[in-house]
Structures are given as C-alpha cells and as structure tokens.
Amino acid sequence: MKLFRHGPVGQERPALLDAQGQARDLSGVISDITADTLTPENLQKLRALDTNTLPVIEPVGRIGTPLQNPGKFLCVGLNYSDHAAETNSPVPAEPILFTKWSKPSGPNDPIVLPQNSVKTDWEVELGIIIGSKARYVEKDDALSYVAGYAVINDVSEREYQLERSGTWDKGKGCDTFGPIGPWLVTGDEIADPQNLGMWLEVNGKRFQNGSTKTMIFDVATLVSYISQFTTLYPGDIISTGTPPGVGLGQTPHVFLKAGDTVKLGIEGLGEQTQQVFAWDPALLD
C-alpha cells in the first residue's frame, strides 16, 4: 500500500493510492495515519479493504507527512561507500548515528534557511518507518519490524554540523530540515530495499544519481544495530544516509540559496519538490 495524508497543516486527512494510482479517502475508516496504524495487524486490516468503495480524492492538494506525530527521528551518517569517498572520509566500522531535532515536514513544503546560514545542503535518503516494537532484534528478523519506507531529504547546514564543534545534530535539526513522503510505501511493495535508484536535482541540474546498492550498512543491519542502543517503536523514523552528489562534495562547493528548487525521488517511493526560502518565521507555523 501507499499511504499518505493530505490537507492544510494540522488538518490532514488519511488516504491511500489504489492499484490504479487513484487517491482514495480513508477518513471513513481511520481518523488519521498514526503509529498505531502501522502495526502489522492494523496494516493487514487496511490491505483487506475494497479500495473501490472508498471515495475518490480530486484534487489531492497539499500532501503532509505520511503519519501524524512521528516518534524518534534517527539518522545514519556516511552510510554510502561512494559518498564517504567523495567527502574523503574513511568507511565507518560501525554505523554513525545522530538525531534530527526538527519535526518532519511534508514532501513539498518549503525549506526555510536558518538565520545566517551559509552552507545548507541537500541529501536524498531512504527512510525506514518502524511498525513493531524492536529491542535487541536479530538482523535476520529485522525487516519484519519495518512498516514501510519513504523518501527523506536530510537537509543539513554544513557549517553548523562540521565547523561549530560538538555533535552533528545542530546542523541537522533546524526547522524544515526533514521533508518526508509523499507516501509511506509498505514493506510488501518493496521487493528489495537494497536495489532502489535515487536522485536529486537543484534548479533542474542532477547532482545525485545513486542507488541503495552502495549502502555500507543495509536496512536490516541498521534496524538490528540501532535496536541494541534504543528501543524502536511504531512511528519511529530512520533516515539511512545519502549517495554521492551533495553540495559539500562539489568543486567548488554548492549550497542552497533562497529561490532554489529542489526535486528528489526514490524508485517506487515517489518524488518531492521543495522551494527554498530565506529565513521567515511566518513560513514555519
């Protein structure tokens, strides 16, 4: 299934795409797409629906985050061998973990540059959405704890991240730095999460053109590994790293500026488009 939420910020309604790609309203079945919706039992109830009986949505309008009030927003750094190479970084012996403080935003909501930002960058990433409580899980069982997948743009302010001392988190957690969606695509629709093409363009120029094949630590490894350090719950999100082509990897460096348009997508998971704006708190609420 492809689940999504549509409507103005704070007023989103649940929906799905049927087998023909038609948007169908779920608000007569569930009140919203929440962490509880993502459990195996409740996803199976949604799969059993006759989608032809659900109201058609025309037009869809704004698309929000694919679930209401996500849980932890966890991220993995330097998880693509070719991205590590472009940044002249050694391949990590274990996954590099950090968190995003920002509340995820819709896939086409604006990116608002922080005050005094000079090095805001882009990163197309495969997002994992957890569907079952996971604590000390084995790698062989790890994918059974995944509800589905989504596109994420791990927007990053590189000066904050790399030049201001401390952890990476303060360069990753600024407002609007976590667009996710358009859909939550359930795991049964993704035959192999390690064989998905992914791309990102800025102002029509293709900068990233990679594949999840080059992940250093695959999805199953990440879910198992992270569950050794924190319990994962339904609705938690893991952003799994980016392939080469980020602005920091360009010669000379290229960073986002007001007026830019960012487009990105992952095979089978849909596409995002974001407009970049200068700092304006009115765009955040």
pLDDT for 285 beyond 80? no
Q: Which two tokens stand for residue 224?
A: 């198992």
- pLDDT number for residue 110: 98
- pLDDT number for residue 141: 98
Average pLDDT taken over every residue of the chain: 96
Percentage of the chain surpassing pLDDT 70? 100
Interval 195-227: pLDDT, tens: 999 999 999 999 999 999 999 999 999 999 999
Using the 8-state DSSP alphabet, how is residue 114 labeled?
Answer: P
pLDDT for 164 beyond 80? yes
Burial 134-143 (b: 16+ CB within 10 A, else e): beebeeeebb
- pLDDT number for residue 84: 81
Determine the length of the chain: 285
- Which positions ≥6 away from 63 have C-beta within 8 Å? 4, 5, 6, 106, 107, 108, 181, 182
> Which band of pLDDT confidence, cut at 50, 70 and 90, is reported for residue 160?
very high
| Alpha-helix residue ranges (DSSP H) falling in 48-92 | 81-86
Question: Among 157-166, 189-198, 254-263, whose mean pLDDT is lowest?
Answer: 157-166
Q: φ, ψ for residue 282 (rounded to 5)?
A: -65, -20
Per domain, the residue ranges of the chain are 2-53, 73-283
Secondary structure (3-state) at 268:
coil
> Which band of pLDDT confidence, cut at 50, 70 and 90, is reported for residue 270?
very high
pLDDT for 85 beyond 90? no
- pLDDT number for residue 216: 96
Interval 13-67: pLDDT, tens: 999 999 999 999 999 999 999 999 999 999 999 999 999 999 999 999 999 999 9
- Domain 73-283, CATH: 3.90.850.10
